[in-house]
Structure 1
Amino acid sequence: MRTLWLTGSGTEMQMARIRAIALISTLAIIGITLAVITLNRDTQAEAPVVESCPAGYVPVNNKLPDSESEVKINVYNATSTVDLARNVAADFTNRKFKVEKTGTDPKKQPDIVAQLRYGPKAVGAAQLLRAYFLNAVEEDGFNIKREDDTIDVIIGGEFKQLATPTEMRQAVAALGNPILPPGTCAQQP
């Protein structure tokens, strides 16, 4: 017959458990007390101060619109193709853009796909429009003095068609966030 030898009595093991529970309880109370003290002494009661534009800089809306229906555009034909502006405007209307005007641009531009002309209130919206042309847009259309939020879309002779919804989403992802034009800063919400 085998005999098992116990090295401790039941009372000693019970005391060890009580000491462990007491130690854990003490540590928990200390942790809770420190958390309460830290929260009560927190000096960050106010929201952080947001940087404003440096002197002489113009705030721009560089937020991408949530939907095409938030974007107002004018579509102008810079080619000799009849009804091009009206047809492209219809395509934009089908994509939910708000088309304000269509017409002819006096400057003929047969060697471009498109140009976007816009001001500080439409920087983010212009980025979305740029994706519909797969970024084949002339880059000199930003006017810091323009005060409206409408974008002029100038269609050139190299234009074939607008991007499909899938191509547009891929182009938006590839373009990333709009780059702030020189002399501007991001408009604070």
Structure 2
Amino acid sequence: MHDRLHELETDVRDLPVPPAATIRARGNSRRRRRRVTVATAAVAVATATAGITLAWPQQQRQLPTATAPADRPATPGLTCDLTLPSDPAQVRVRVLDGGASPTRMATTAAQLEARRFTVLDGTTGPRPATPATVVYGPAAIGTAAVLRAVVYGDATMRFDPTRPAGDKTIDLILGPAFTRLATTTEMNENLATAGEPTAPPECANR
């Protein structure tokens, strides 16, 4: 047994070890292949300065669009807009303090502006149970779905049927557990997974 172990030790010692650069190159090649696979499956979202183009594939799983139970009756005359924005400037966001640090609030607002979202002045909001809460009305269902895709991690979607018709403003409430926005790749994956936005039960045109 001792002789066999000595032979194995010699064999292992004599194995050729590739240079570190070669190992890194192999790793980079594998990562590139994974990125190509994800990009192929993800939705095409162009975030150039000319705007974004959203293509929503049909998927089984939908982004949650309301916290209301599915059997809640429709509100008479409540027309909901599921139109997706053709430009990030059409997404009007009010970043509200739900317990996040001032630095996190300022950084998130600046990052949204850098992505050409329209960021409005916000103050405080209720502390969310999840890291973030997205509150929107009947006129902002499509744009709220896009904003949800930009938020990394868990977020609660809360539909407010009492918001005035035509009010496309969305409240993004950041809680203490909120960490960051999604990267472009993560946003693409979120959009591809979500599928088309659906109307909440209160909508008369669902």
Q: CA shift at 1:179, angstroms?
A: 1.7
| 1:98-117 aligned within 5 A | 98-105=118-125, 107-109=126-128, 111-117=129-135
Name 1:146's counterpart in structure 2.
163
How far apart, CA to CA, are the structure 2 residues paired with 1:69 and 1:55?
A: 30
Identity among equivalent pairs (%)? 31
Deviations 1:88-128 (A, max 9, x none): 111110111000113232x334x421101110000000000
- Normalised to the residue count of structure 1, the TM-score between the two structures is 0.63
How far apart, CA to CA, are the structure 1 residues paired with 2:100 and 2:115?
A: 25
| 1:40-189 aligned within 5 A | 56-79=76-99, 81-105=101-125, 107-109=126-128, 111-134=129-152, 136-139=154-157, 141-147=158-164, 148-186=167-205
Q: CA shift at 1:81, angstroms?
A: 1.5
How far apart, CA to CA, are the structure 1 residues paired with 2:193 and 2:169?
A: 24
How far apart, CA to CA, are the structure 1 residues paired with 2:86 and 2:131?
A: 25
> Could you tell me which amino acid in structure 2 is paired with residue 79 of structure 1?
G
Q: CA shift at 1:183, angstroms?
A: 1.9
Name the one with the larger strand percent. 1
Deviations 1:59-79 (A, max 9, x none): 111011112111111001111
Unpaired stretches in structure 2, ≥5 consecutive residues: 1-73
How far apart, CA to CA, are the structure 2 residues paired with 1:182 and 1:84?
A: 34
Q: CA shift at 1:150, angstroms?
A: 0.3
Higher relative contact order (CA 8 A, sep 6+): 2
On the 8 A contact 2:75/2:203 being kept in 1, the answer is no
Decide which moves more: 118-127 or 55-64.
Answer: 55-64
CA RMSD in angstroms, aligned pairs only: 2.1
> Relative to structure 1, is the Cα distance of residues 144 and 80 closer, same or farther in structure 2, using a 3 angstrom cutoff?
closer
Q: CA shift at 1:185, angstroms?
A: 4.3
> Relative to structure 1, is the Cα distance of residues 170 and 185 closer, same or farther in structure 2, using a 3 angstrom cutoff?
farther
> Could you tell me which amino acid in structure 1 is paired with residue 112 of structure 2?
F
Aligned pair count reads 131
Q: CA shift at 1:135, angstroms?
A: 6.2
Unpaired stretches in structure 1, ≥5 consecutive residues: 1-53
> Could you tell me which amino acid in structure 2 is paired with residue 116 of structure 1?
V
